[in-house]
A and B are shown apart, each in its own frame.
Chain A
Amino acid sequence: MRADQTLVQFLREEKRLTGTHIGCDTVSCGACTVLLNGQAVKSCSVLAVQCDGARVDTVEGLCDQELSPLQQAFRECFAVQCGFCTPGFLMTACELMRTVKPKSRQELAVQLAGNYCRCTGYQPILDAIGRVLALPSPSR
């Protein structure tokens, strides 16, 4: 492992886990989000060496055969278009579901500020995560 290698580079290049994506070079977009010891982090912002001995969860580990309820909700809400941002949103959502547990759609939206999506306009992503969190759905 190179000393200057970021976690996302390590995952993609050494581990061939390419589900974690790179969408920027300023730690902005969240496409690279993974769970580091259960916490959502942008894996382009940590060095791989810093993660020695830590537990890292990536999108590849979210399910075996069947999609998880979160993934299923994404599918049913059509929260995926090009799919590039999707792993990042899923990992952030995993953390939110366990820790923050937003109480409203607005709160959820604020919590997702570190994840960008250029395709969906966020609405179906909020629908999907909101469904898993059992948030009241907005009137359409």
Chain B
Amino acid sequence: MASKGSGTSLSNPVLRSEDRRFLRGAGRYLADLSFPDTYHVAFVRSSEAHARIMDISTEKAYLPGVVGIFLAADLTSELGEVPMVWPVPGLQNPGHPLLAKETVRFPGEPIAVVIAADEQTARRAAKQVKVTYHRLPVVANLLQAVDRQAGGAAVHPEIADNIAYVWEREFGDPSALEKADDSFFQRLIIPRVAPLPMEPRGLIARYDREADLLSVWASSQFPHVLRLSLAVVLGHPESRIAVTVPDVGGAFGGKMNVYREDLLVAYFAKRLNLTLRYVETRSENFMAMTHGRDQIQDVRVFYTRRGRLLGMDVTIHANMGAYLQGATPGIPLFTAQMLSGCYRIPYIKVRVMGYYTNQAYTDAYRGAGRPEATYLVERVIEMVARKCGRDPLSVRLKNFIRRTQFPARVVTGLTYDSGDYSKALKKAAAKSGIKYWRSEQRARRLRGDRRQIGIGISSYVEFCGNSPSSAHAQLGLKTGGYESAVVRIHPTGAVTVISGSCPSGQGHETVWAQLVERCLGVAQEQVQVVTGTTTGTPWGGGTYGSRSAAVGGTAIYQACQRLIEKGRDYLQHLWQVKGEAIGFEQGVYSCGTRRISLQELAPRLYLAHDLPYGMEPGLEATVFFEPRSYTYPSGTHVCIVEVDALTGKTSILQYVAVDDCGHLLHEPIAKGQVIGGIVQGIGAALYEQIVQDEQTGQLLTQSFRSYHLPKAEDVPPIVTDHLCTPSPVNPLGVKGVGESGTIAAHPAVINAIVDALSVYGVEHVDMPATPEKLWQLCQMGGETE
């Protein structure tokens, strides 16, 4: 059904309804909300990566307007810690206090809360709080933790080796390796990057003592989870907490967490009976929002001379940071799950090791574990092709899961729903004119051109539709994966749809209204979409993991179906005919010459004067949709780069993306997700990295001046195309599209760069492929030649 309907094509798209307000500057983001008598919160943050707190002097900080300054010792002991929902077996969890007490463990860790009448005063006062530190040895990055180079430094004294957990699995048949002709080892480093939504985080909390009602506004991806966490940590009745999420200026995983700052602001609002507001600065956002990726992957690859990938033995070293946020330990398990990529690999052994470091916590960032897996698999298949002297396209084709093999069970235990990997690959290859680029590449190599051409291919598959709750259970994740929807047809025929999804720029308002129009035949303009509130709504999971369409959309679809069924039941009674005899098309029931629309039935169902025995009045349905399986978007991206050996600079000349996300609910919006995602992937591949000083642990990347976010001029024209193998696991046939671009892009870019530099004997380069790094590789290669 999703392929039908009007206005979804690129030529005549339905425009986004939310853009009317965004384009006039009438969006309402957290910082735009104002309440009378608001007080402002600022945090005193650690300037050290690892230190003992010797003294905190607040004396000079009581500027006029300061209401209070609170340290860890001032918090009530009943107050809980930052919630963590993924207790991987064997996990050493040191806990996650709301304020540092004796020791600070990462740069930016909150030490004290300052509350003042205005924002400037709060921030100035926070600067006046003097903390005396005694520096401790640091674990400044993952490599130091892995190498134990930190000279015995332990982030948490009770965890001497800094190892949070070890998780091991052996998948498939080890005897498959006997057929291998050869094996090789490779270390791949996936740096730490920051999600960096353009709107930083923030939270406003007010407390009504009479009603015992705690009202919270937050820039968040999941209001219900925030409410639950506040209830648990603050010990406040969940039913008397109202969370509202206004317009959110981007999130990318960074806002699918409940942070210390959130809990503290709400806690003090209640304790002091004040309206409190906290909006973080960009520097704070760099320091204290979750970071993403940060893995070191040690891989041994077994293959045949003909280019068949037979097995991998993988150790994933994963950086947790200093403390665990909601899902920190589990993200690398997603990497482990996806290690088979698009391929039939008979044997995979994987060991995931989590480490504590003196860095901010990691957690989900666009792709959450799957970009790391795709990067590994796509770098590996490329290396196999090179070692066998074969074309990387044909090696992929040789190892692909075939179209006829779906649903396809891979050794890691997942069952991929549908796909046609060869078709996507061939389409992408044709569209990007690989033959032309190969000949151009040959020509430049022959004439020893300083500007070398590289062709990078990335065939990806990922899981979306998060998630079947049973899959969470298997991985030890203590949450459910379903989503809710309420569809309510009012007595006048107007429609309200309440979804547990929570937009941060994906256009839910437009797409949900469009979906209801297609299901119920009610004009979009008459459909009111409600998201982002816990008031009067069923539990909602929120928006992350490319789940809105496949899980949230299906919940809406099913709620619509229930209403259609109810109308039919009523008409059976009214018209005295059998249900099967009543058709329903574009909002109108018909039987013979009789016709009536669902909207026309609404007032009668509310009047309830002539309902059949046992039928409830009203016309609304609530659905909790529990997906029975993940969905698996896939595709192939081809990136053409030019690397200048004299400067090390990479220019992306062309980027082609062919994606299979199943049916698309709204083609231009889906395309926008793909392109935006690709550019985030290009950013990580070429420029982005969070860096701390190796000796002191100081954060060196705390602003856009030291952290290179892709700019308009960095971005190549991106050509997209798609094919569609509808997902059989949901009635809409949709898969999910929010993360696929990012997931595919890293290896597409790096494979291209390595291909370009292979003339210099380069076999691998780690992200980010900066000019300095590439220049050096070219120099070294030039010398050995």
Contact = CB atoms under 8 A, between A and B. Distances in A.
A81 B27 contact: no
A4 B247 CA distance: 29
Interface in B664-707: 668-669, 671-672, 675-680, 703-705
A106 B653 CA distance: 13
A26 to B, nearest CB: 4
Interface stretch (B52-60, B227-235, B514-522, B712-720): B712-720
Contacts of B709: 116, 118
B23 A118 contact: no
B24 interface: yes
A81 B713 contact: no
B281 A121 contact: no
B620 interface: no
B675 A123 contact: yes
Contacts of B199: 21, 23, 82, 84
Interface stretch (A35-43, A47-55, A57-65): A57-65
Interface stretch (B395-403, B500-508, B581-589): B500-508
A117 to B, nearest CB: 7
Interface in B26-43: 26-29, 31-32, 34
A68 B299 CA distance: 55
Q: How large is the interface on A (under 10, 10 to 19, 20 to 34, 35 or more residues)?
A: 35 or more
Contact of B713 (A21, A110, A123): A110
Contacts of B26: 19, 60
Main secondary structure of the interface of B (DSSP, over half): loop
Interface string A56-89: 0011101100010001001110101111111100
Given A21-B199, A121-B675, A75 B15 contact: yes
Contact of A123 (B23, B250, B717): B717
A82 B250 contact: yes
B505 A123 contact: no
Contact of B712 (A25, A81, A122): A122
Interface in B734-771: none
B748 to A, nearest CB: 14
B198 A84 contact: yes
Contacts of A113: 711-713
B713 A28 contact: no
Contacts of B132: none
Interface in B528-561: none
B659 to A, nearest CB: 14
Contacts of A87: 25
Contacts of B672: 78, 81, 119-120, 124
Nearest to A19: B25
Contacts of B705: 26, 28
Nearest to B18: A83
A24 B668 CA distance: 29
B704 A21 contact: no
Contacts of A121: 675-680, 710, 715, 718
A74 B672 CA distance: 13
A16 interface: yes
B22 interface: yes
A109 interface: yes
Which one of A24, A108, A116, A140 has the greatest number of beta carbons of chain B within 10 Å? Answer: A24
B283 interface: yes
B200 interface: yes
Interface string A96-130: 00000000001011101101111111111110000
Interface string B243-260: 000011110100000000
Contact of B282 (A25, A67, A120): A25
Interface string B558-594: 0000000000000000000000000000000000000
B713 A31 contact: no
Contacts of A23: 198-200, 249, 282
B19 A80 contact: yes
A75 B672 CA distance: 12
A7 interface: no
B704 A81 contact: no
A59 B24 CA distance: 6
Contact of A20 (B25, B120, B281): B25
B468 interface: no
B24 A62 contact: yes
Contacts of B306: none
B740 to A, nearest CB: 13
A63 B24 contact: yes
Given A81-B505, A81-B506, A82-B198, A74 B23 contact: yes
A11 to B, nearest CB: 10
Interface string B1-32: 00000000000010110111111111111011
Contact of B680 (A24, A28, A118): A118
Nearest to B713: A109
A75 B715 CA distance: 21
B134 to A, nearest CB: 29
Residue among B19, B200, B252, B283 facing the most chain A CB atoms (10 A cut-off): B19
B196 interface: yes
A29 B717 CA distance: 22
B254 to A, nearest CB: 10
Nearest to B705: A26
A110 to B, nearest CB: 5
Contact of B676 (A17, A28, A119): A119
B37 to A, nearest CB: 15
A36 to B, nearest CB: 16
A78 B677 CA distance: 15
B704 A122 contact: no
Given A26-B703, A123-B675, A112 B23 contact: no
Interface centre among B28, B31, B704 (most CB of A within 10 A): B704
Interface centre among A19, A63, A75, A83 (most CB of B within 10 A): A83
A74 B24 CA distance: 11
B252 A60 contact: no
A70 to B, nearest CB: 9
B282 A26 contact: yes
Nearest to A72: B23
Interface in B320-360: none
A78 B711 contact: no
B703 A85 contact: no
Contacts of B711: 109, 112-113, 116, 122
Interface string B262-288: 000000000000000000011100000
Contacts of B23: 59, 62, 67, 71, 74-75, 80, 83, 86, 90
A113 B708 CA distance: 12
A90 B484 CA distance: 37
A88 B663 CA distance: 34
A60 B25 contact: yes
Nearest to A17: B25
A22 interface: yes
Given A113-B713, A120-B676, A140-B717, 4 more contacts: A24-B282, A82-B249, A110-B713, A122-B710
9 contacts: A12-B32, A24-B282, A60-B25, A71-B24, A80-B23, A82-B198, A83-B18, A84-B197, A118-B250
Interface of B: 13, 15-16, 18-29, 31-32, 34, 120, 196-200, 247-250, 252, 281-283, 504-507, 668-669, 671-672, 675-680, 703-705, 709-713, 715, 717-719
Question: Which 10 A-B residue pairings sit nearest by Cβ, starting from the closest?
Answer: A19-B25, A82-B505, A84-B249, A83-B22, A121-B679, A59-B25, A28-B704, A18-B32, A81-B505, A24-B282
